[in-house]
């Protein structure tokens, strides 16, 4: 006899597994607190001082600094709650001490001061920090760092110059070894990192130490609301960095740099050089970079003082050729220019082109200056550098604009779809407008014929470039592995360009470009072929 499935029977089948599932779910969350949820912060300080005395028994403590400074009761100077201050007003950057004397006293200092403070705060009925070892010394910390490095760009640098009435000695100094004191040398200001490295060396403190000591100290000494931040997030939070007021077109920072210069091998190595020199517009490049250190990695000196034709102690094997041409370095000319190709208005063509090497014609775009032999005769100097710069009027078509087809009909899929009417001239006009907005693009595209190479690659530029089918067969051929068939080539080129340039249409559907052919037309076409 057939047994009916009543609601009661259904509940018997489903209820026990459901209860088991809920129990497992509940137990899986047991013991988890809000602290187990990892949070990003920009103020994290890793307390790992015990590593100086050997391998520590427990993991380092990840300490949220701003969280503590924000909760300490306001005093005349709440930093002294945790940091000692000497007679000169300088704060110790270590917690409640100037030096690490020994393991036990350093460890006990943290345990006594921190835990006692947490207990006292909790006794007042306020939210306090942990008092159990495992809540501070965690293998998987509750916080992860979102700290961003702070950069002194030319806008922020100018604001500091203006605020200090153009007195540079507040930040820039040198060390007088004879008198053993810091002195200021006008015109020889050098970047902090040249002397202050990642770790303390001899009598030079680490960059991290001096940056916090000098910058925060200066900000705290200033009248409230007139200087920069004093909390970690004020400098190291990405959103706060974006909110820093920018000075549009700050005055040029003059450091005896040339307006234009010829880049060549050092004078004593000119005879080793085979290429023409490069006329370089230094002043124009200053406008497009946020800092001098975009090109000058350490000290503001001519490139060839370190990067020569042969290896030496200064260049560490990075010779002049590599320093200027490395595609993998943002400090090199080629590397910097290459990074611009990823912009939306450029990527349509450049993302589909061969990567990793320069074209055969690339050299002559920059090396337009006098030959090394000519420069050798004038002891490395020339009276008029401007005459060696390329003619700015070079950007023109080698054929009349009206010779460019207004549209191109692509009927590759006419058995299923209507032919595609490709707006050829409209596309070229749009790309030319983008190129005209950039001096860099205008220079390197040279004549507008170069634009044609975005689609008509590996062919001579002219009025009538070879048809795509000349190289791309109707289907994929194993003998031409890197070369797609004509159908794949069209879709890769067209859709790839639209995707990289963030063009909404086509959205991916075939009929965005190919109008669907009527069934009657397909039937008629089939009969004609028979």
Q: Is residue 101 part of a domain?
A: yes
Q: Are residues 94 and 123 in the same domain?
A: yes
Check if the beta carbon of residue 198 is closer than 8 Å to that of residue 206.
Answer: yes
Q: Is residue 204 part of a domain?
A: yes
Q: What gap in Å lies between CA 132 and CA 457, rounded to an integer?
A: 68
C-alpha distance from residue 517 to each of 30, 147, 511 (Å): 63, 57, 10
Residue 454: give the domain boundaries: 393-529
Q: What gap in Å lies between CA 264 and CA 271, rounded to an integer?
A: 11
Last residue of a domain, one of 145, 177, 204: 145
C-alpha distance from residue 320 to each of 281, 311, 373, 417, 509 (Å): 18, 9, 18, 56, 51
Q: Are residues 431 and 409 in the same domain?
A: yes
CATH number at residue 503: 3.90.10.10
Q: What gap in Å lies between CA 339 and CA 342, rounded to an integer?
A: 6
pLDDT of residue 517: 81
- Specify the number of domains making up the chain: 4
Q: Are residues 347 and 466 in the same domain?
A: no
Q: Are residues 158 and 134 in the same domain?
A: no
Check if the beta carbon of residue 422 is closer than 8 Å to that of residue 521.
Answer: no
Helices (H), 357-471: 363-366, 372-377, 424-436, 439-445
pLDDT of residue 16: 52
Q: Are residues 361 and 306 in the same domain?
A: yes
pTM, whole model, 2 decimals? 0.75
> In 27-40, which positions are buried (b, 16+ CB within 10 angstroms) versus exposed (e)?
eeeeeeeeeeeeee
What's the per-residue H, E or C state across 3-29?
A: CCCCHHHHHHHHHHHHHHHHHHHHHHC
Q: Is residue 26 part of a domain?
A: no
Q: CA angle, corner 219, sides to 216 and 223, nearest 5?
A: 155
Q: Are residues 219 and 307 in the same domain?
A: no
Check if the beta carbon of residue 204 is closer than 8 Å to that of residue 111.
Answer: no
Check if the beta carbon of residue 270 is closer than 8 Å to that of residue 382.
Answer: no
Q: What gap in Å lies between CA 340 and CA 166, rounded to an integer?
A: 34
Helix (H, G, I), strand (E, B) or coil at 364: helix
pLDDT of residue 26: 46
Q: What gap in Å lies between CA 361 and CA 349, rounded to an integer?
A: 18
Q: Is residue 133 part of a domain?
A: yes
Q: Is residue 167 part of a domain?
A: yes
Q: Is residue 18 part of a domain?
A: no
Q: Are residues 104 and 164 in the same domain?
A: no
Q: Are residues 344 and 364 in the same domain?
A: yes
CB atoms within 10 A of CB 95: 17
Q: Is residue 30 part of a domain?
A: no
Helices (H), 253-382: 282-288, 320-325, 333-339, 344-350, 363-366, 372-377
Check if the beta carbon of residue 257 is closer than 8 Å to that of residue 300.
Answer: yes
Q: What is the pLDDT of residues 90-124, one digit of tens each?
A: 889 999 999 998 999 999 999 999 999 999 999 99
First to last CA, the chain: 66
The closest of 400, 450, 402, 396 to 424, measured between CA atoms, is: 402
Q: In terms of residues, how long is the chain?
A: 530
Q: Is residue 104 part of a domain?
A: yes
Q: CA angle, corner 301, sides to 295 and 303, nearest 5?
A: 60
Write the DSSP assignment of 443-462 as a string of letters.
HHHTTGGGGGGGTSTTS--S
C-alpha distance from residue 365 to each of 33, 362, 444 (Å): 63, 6, 7
- Phi, psi (deg, nearest 5) at residue 384: -135, 95
Q: CA angle, corner 186, sides to 185 and 188, nearest 5?
A: 70
Check if the beta carbon of residue 42 is closer than 8 Å to that of residue 239.
Answer: no
Q: Are residues 109 and 192 in the same domain?
A: no
Q: Are residues 399 and 349 in the same domain?
A: no
Q: What is the pLDDT of residues 352-365, one digit of tens each?
A: 887 777 776 788 88
Cis peptide bond prior to 127, omega within 30° of 0 = no
Q: How would you class 136 by CB atoms within 10 Å of its CB: exposed for 0-12, middle for 13-18, buried for 19 or more?
A: buried
Q: Are residues 399 and 439 in the same domain?
A: yes
Q: Are residues 271 and 368 in the same domain?
A: yes
Check if the beta carbon of residue 48 is closer than 8 Å to that of residue 56.
Answer: yes
pLDDT of residue 75: 57
Last residue of a domain, one of 92, 117, 145: 145
Per-residue pLDDT of the chain (530 residues; tens, 9 = 90+): 444 444 444 444 445 555 554 544 444 444 444 444 569 999 999 999 999 999 999 999 999 999 999 888 665 567 899 999 999 888 899 999 999 989 999 999 999 999 999 999 999 999 999 999 999 999 999 999 999 999 999 999 999 999 999 999 999 999 999 999 999 998 888 889 889 999 999 889 999 999 999 999 999 888 888 899 999 999 999 999 999 999 999 999 888 899 999 999 998 999 899 899 999 999 999 999 988 888 987 788 899 999 999 998 888 889 999 999 998 888 899 999 999 999 999 999 999 887 777 776 788 889 999 999 888 877 666 667 888 887 665 555 556 677 788 999 988 888 888 899 999 999 988 998 898 899 899 888 877 678 888 898 888 777 788 888 888 887 766 776 678 888 889 988 999 999 999 988 776 688 888 888 876 555 555 445 55
Check if the beta carbon of residue 421 is closer than 8 Å to that of residue 409.
Answer: yes
pLDDT of residue 453: 85
C-alpha distance from residue 154 to each of 157, 199, 210, 294 (Å): 5, 26, 20, 11
Residues in contact with 329: Cβ distance below 8 Å, sequence separation at least 6, in sequence order:
335
Last residue of a domain, one of 88, 114, 145: 145
């Amino acid at each position: 006899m057939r047994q009916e499935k009543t609601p009661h029977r259904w509940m018997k089948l489903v209820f026990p597994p459901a209860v088991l599932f809920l129990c497992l779910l509940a137990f899986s969350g047991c013991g988890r607190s809000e602290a187990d949820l990892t949070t990003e912060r920009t103020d994290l300080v890793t307390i790992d001082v015990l590593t100086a005395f050997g391998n520590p028994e427990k993991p380092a403590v990840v300490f949220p600094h701003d969280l503590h400074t924000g909760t300490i009761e306001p005093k005349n100077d709440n930093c002294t709650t945790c940091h000692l201050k000497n007679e000169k007003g300088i704060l110790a950057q270590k917690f409640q001490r100037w030096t690490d004397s020994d393991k036990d006293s350093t460890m006990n200092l943290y345990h006594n001061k921190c835990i006692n403070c947490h207990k006292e705060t909790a006794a007042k009925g306020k939210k306090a920090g942990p008092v159990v070892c495992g809540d501070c010394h965690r293998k998987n910390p509750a916080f992860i760092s979102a700290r961003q490095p702070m950069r002194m760009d030319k806008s922020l640098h100018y604001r500091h110059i203006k605020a200090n009435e153009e007195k540079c000695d507040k930040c820039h100094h040198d060390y007088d070894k004879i008198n053993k004191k810091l002195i200021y040398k006008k015109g020889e200001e050098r970047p902090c990192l040249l002397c202050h490295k990642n770790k303390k060396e001899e009598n030079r403190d680490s960059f991290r130490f001096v940056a916090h000591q000098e910058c925060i100290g200066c900000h705290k000494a200033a009248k409230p609301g007139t200087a920069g931040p004093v909390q970690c997030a004020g400098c190291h939070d990405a959103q706060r960095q974006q909110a820093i007021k920018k000075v549009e077109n700050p005055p040029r920072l003059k450091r005896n740099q040339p307006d234009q210069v010829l880049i060549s091998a050092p004078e004593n190595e000119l005879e080793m050089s085979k290429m023409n020199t490069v006329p370089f517009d230094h002043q124009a490049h200053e406008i497009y970079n946020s800092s001098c250190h975009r090109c000058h990695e350490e000290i503001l000196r001519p490139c060839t003082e370190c990067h020569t034709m042969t290896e030496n102690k200064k260049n560490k094997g990075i010779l002049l050729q590599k320093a200027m041409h490395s595609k993998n370095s943002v400090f090199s000319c080629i590397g910097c220019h290459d990074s611009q190709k990823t912009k939306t208005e450029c990527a349509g063509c450049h993302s589909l082109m061969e990567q990793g090497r320069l074209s055969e014609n690339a050299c002559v775009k920059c090396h337009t200056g006098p030959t090394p032999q000519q420069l050798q005769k004038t002891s490395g100097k020339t009276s008029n550098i401007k005459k060696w710069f390329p003619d700015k009027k070079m950007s023109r078509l080698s054929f009349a604009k009206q010779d460019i087809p207004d549209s191109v009909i692509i009927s590759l899929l006419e058995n299923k779809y209507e032919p595609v009417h490709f707006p050829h001239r409209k596309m070229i006009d749009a790309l030319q407008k983008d190129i005209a907005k950039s001096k860099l693009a205008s220079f390197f595209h040279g004549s507008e014929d170069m634009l044609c190479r975005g689609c008509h690659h590996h062919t001579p530029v002219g009025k009538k470039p070879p048809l795509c089918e000349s190289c791309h067969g109707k289907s994929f051929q194993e003998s031409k592995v890197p070369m797609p068939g004509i159908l794949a080539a069209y879709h890769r080129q067209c859709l790839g360009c639209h995707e990289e340039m963030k063009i909404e249409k086509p959205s991916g559907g075939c009929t965005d470009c190919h109008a669907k052919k009527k069934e009657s037309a397909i039937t008629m076409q089939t009969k004609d072929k028979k």
